[in-house]
Structure 1
Amino acid sequence: MELRPAWILLGLAGVAALAWYAARDPSADSGPAAERRDAAIRANAEAASDAGVLYRWRDAHGVLQITDTPPKGRKYERVERDAPPAIEVHGERE
């Protein structure tokens, strides 16, 4: 019967360790692993911000082009790939 208090203390220590691990601040980590994680988060954010954009422009012959990369040396318009939630009506025409 003397083992029972020892097992209870060991269980409580394990629960306390798990609670500490779950409550810690992951942004407080430092070192190369944290730098790699932060760089990956930034790269994903940049890729996500450009993922929904198309570029509309006219070539030298006046033909409308729509591409996923902006043209060099030409005027272009950024167009979101996802449709807006409501219809937008503008009076100007090109």
Structure 2
Amino acid sequence: MRLTWALVLGVVAGVAVAWWLSRDPPELAREKQARAEAAAAANFEDSRPVLYRWRDDDGALHVTDAAPKGRKYERIPIEPDPAIEVHGDR
């Protein structure tokens, strides 16, 4: 009976040591977390609706929903007015 418990204890200890050695060091885990948060923030910014403000060759100001090709433009985030209430039941 003691041999069985010794084997079980040895297997459990081996699994625990293997898990401990295979985990990421705290510095690497923090770096991974920071990269994941930065990627999530970038995805959030890219998914928000925006307009693009730019000027053509004649200097006329344009505001479009698609970015112009080959021109400098400014992204304008579209923020809903907080005073507007939307009710889906009406």
* TM-score normalized by the length of structure 2: 0.44
* TM-score normalized by the length of structure 1: 0.43
